[in-house]
Amino acid sequence: MSTPFLVWIILAPLIGSLLNTGFYFYHIKKQKISEVVFALIGTITPFISFLITLYLFLQMRDEKIIFNQDLFTWVSIGNLNIEMRLLGDNLAIFMSMFVTFIGWLIHIYAIGYMKGDEGFGKFFAYFNLFLASMLILVLADNPIILFIGWEGVGLCSYLLIAFYYQDKDNVLAGNKAFIANRVGDFGFLLGVVTLFFAIDANSLSFATIEANISNASPELLILSGFLLFVGAMGKSAQIPLYVWLPDAMAGPTPISALIHAATMVTAGVYMVARFHFLYIGIEDIGTFIAYIGAFSALFAAIIATRQQDIKKILAYSTMSQLGYMFIGVGLGFYSTGLFHVFTHAFFKAMLFMGAGGIIIALHHEQNIFKIAQHRAQLPIIHFTFLVGVIAISGIPPFSGFFSKDAILAAAFQNGEYLIWGIGIFTAFLTAFYMFRLYFVIFVAPTKHVAQYTYTSKTITIPLLILSIGAIAAGFLNLPEVLGGETRVDTWLSQLNSHKLHLSHSTEYILMITSVIVALAGILVAYKKYAKFDVYKPESDEGIIANKFYVDEFYDKVLVQTSKKISTFIDKVVDEKIIDGFIMSICDGFISFGKKVAMIQNANVRFYAAFMLVGMCCIFIYLYKLLGL
């Protein structure tokens, strides 16, 4: 069904970005503009997007329809037509719902966090553009339009990670994120091109690709599926393209919350789900995706156990949780993986926003042991942070339990017992390192406890709203074994190639095992950190604390090698061989020219002598010719 509203979901934050950009330039060049103006534009426009999405969702639920909107023909070459067309199906509206809602709450939170910052207006201009780019990605009707949003979130992440560009480290972090994502984006683009030639169709809409997927050879489908997932590795920070994610913490905390909860890192999972019709036919690539997710989840969780920066701990937890999501979508349980995207958005946004509140209270201190040494009384943040930690640890009835347990059950049902085992052990590590974080910051004994007064309700109210989602969102997809109706699975049922059909007794055993493992992780963290001496922090040395030296390895093998190759090409191949060869020819011409130039010396007597010699030569030639 055609509707004029889809484009306004995108245009609302996009217009907000343009307005804030214009006002910001006016603000810095002519006359100061109040932060209230930037804040109102920055928060009202995402809320409009949410209201439109909610309206379309309710209409879809009641009338069982799918929305679309044709804007214009973008490319028309021969038989190839690429339409600027938006698609509002169940998947797109499901993603848009929580992206706009949680994005809106993070925008509200940013008002209090960024208060007094010189770049307040610029920040909201970037923030609105980030949300608009994500919505282009989600609502795209074809992979070319999706790629526009895909690149848009990459650009905005660079701008926001390097927001405080006066600090060189922040710029380097932004560059790292940008370059790592370009590697993934190149893979994504190659995947789309491969798929286009494989299906031999004159349109690239998702519906056309799905209808013509049988035209492609299995080899090209496998290649295309793999290349598309390379793009997902970059955007969603999976092995081996994950290294940018911890460094992205250089940006202000609101952008960390937006990247990790509602926008950029979820794009890879969404893209795989959007191409579900492709991956259903190449299950080996799906299994490969699941294993990459499993090992990424485990690897990130191990690193998180020894990190001391509060935001980097949360960053690695995001990478780990994304691994669970890829297990779900890789095994064909797309609604299950997306349900974890949904629940994770609530508690991860809340955890990052809580961390931001702590950082503000402690004058931008991020080391958890130093935070503990100068602890501030933050009752609202303390409560919401605990809710988030419990939710991500998978303790019922909090939301993280239902979504994570469903993924583990899917792996068990498919006979992927190694993935299930990795997932269970990662659940133990998740509970351990998250409660390590909680016990050190809020529980471990300290000599100094300061009172802290919240400066803005824009920080606390979004936290309290998100805490409701972190507690209750799991009930939206309550499994049948617990008397639920699996509403999310029903809403996204057209995506799934597999469904859970375990016996109730098996499901109960898997649930109990998951809870016991999580409780064991909490117990170990309690024993070690509840009474930890924060004045004698853990060593930041060792292979785990240094992230297995992967960054150093990449720098040595890739960066330094590239520099050496570039230097060799510049100094030897280009300068000595190519330039040397060309310059030697040039020198020869110049030398020859100088010799010829000796003849042209403007000396009349010299010219007369040459004329005399020439005439003599002519006379001698004629003499010989005539035989005289």
pLDDT score for 494: 87
pLDDT score for 64: 84
Of 241-255, 318-332, 614-628, the poorest mean pLDDT is in: 614-628
Measured at the CA of 602, the angle between CA 601 and CA 606, to 5 degrees, comes to 75
Average pLDDT over the chain, rounded to an integer: 91
Quote the pTM value: 0.90
Position 6 pLDDT exceeds 80: yes
Under the banding of pLDDT at 50, 70 and 90, the label for residue 447 is confident
pLDDT score for 243: 92
Under the banding of pLDDT at 50, 70 and 90, the label for residue 73 is confident
pLDDT tens digits along 10-69: 999 999 999 999 999 988 887 788 899 999 999 999 999 999 999 999 999 888 899 999
Average pLDDT estimate for 607-613: 80
| More confident: 35 or 453 | 35
Bond from prior residue into 240 cis (ω within 30 degrees of 0):
yes
Under the banding of pLDDT at 50, 70 and 90, the label for residue 329 is very high
> Where is 70: in which H helix or E strand?
strand 67-77
Of 123-132, 143-152, 492-501, the poorest mean pLDDT is in: 492-501
Position 453 pLDDT exceeds 70: no
Under the banding of pLDDT at 50, 70 and 90, the label for residue 94 is very high
pLDDT score for 69: 93
Position 132 pLDDT exceeds 90: yes
Per-residue three-class SS string for 243-266: CHHHHHHHCCHHHHHHHHHCCCCH
Position 452 pLDDT exceeds 80: no
Between the CA of residue 52 and those of 6, 100, 105, 245, 603, what are the distances in Å? 8, 10, 16, 32, 90
Position 599 pLDDT exceeds 80: no
Of 90-94, 127-131, 335-339, 536-540, the poorest mean pLDDT is in: 536-540
Residue with tokens 């055609």: 2
- Any alpha helices (H) in 283-398, and if so which ranges? 283-304, 310-330, 334-361, 368-373, 379-393
pLDDT score for 594: 78
For helices 283-304 and 417-438, angle between their N-to-C axes, nearest 10 degrees: 30
Residue 356 buriedness (CB in 10 A; 0-12 / 13-18 / 19+) = buried
Average pLDDT estimate for 451-466: 84
Position 349 pLDDT exceeds 90: yes
Average pLDDT estimate for 184-204: 89
What whole-number percentage of the chain has pLDDT above 90? Answer: 63
pLDDT score for 44: 96
pLDDT score for 344: 95
Residue with tokens 């958005």: 345
Position 187 pLDDT exceeds 70: yes
pLDDT score for 345: 94
Bond from prior residue into 397 cis (ω within 30 degrees of 0):
yes
Longest dimension (CA), the chain: 128
Average pLDDT estimate for 277-300: 95
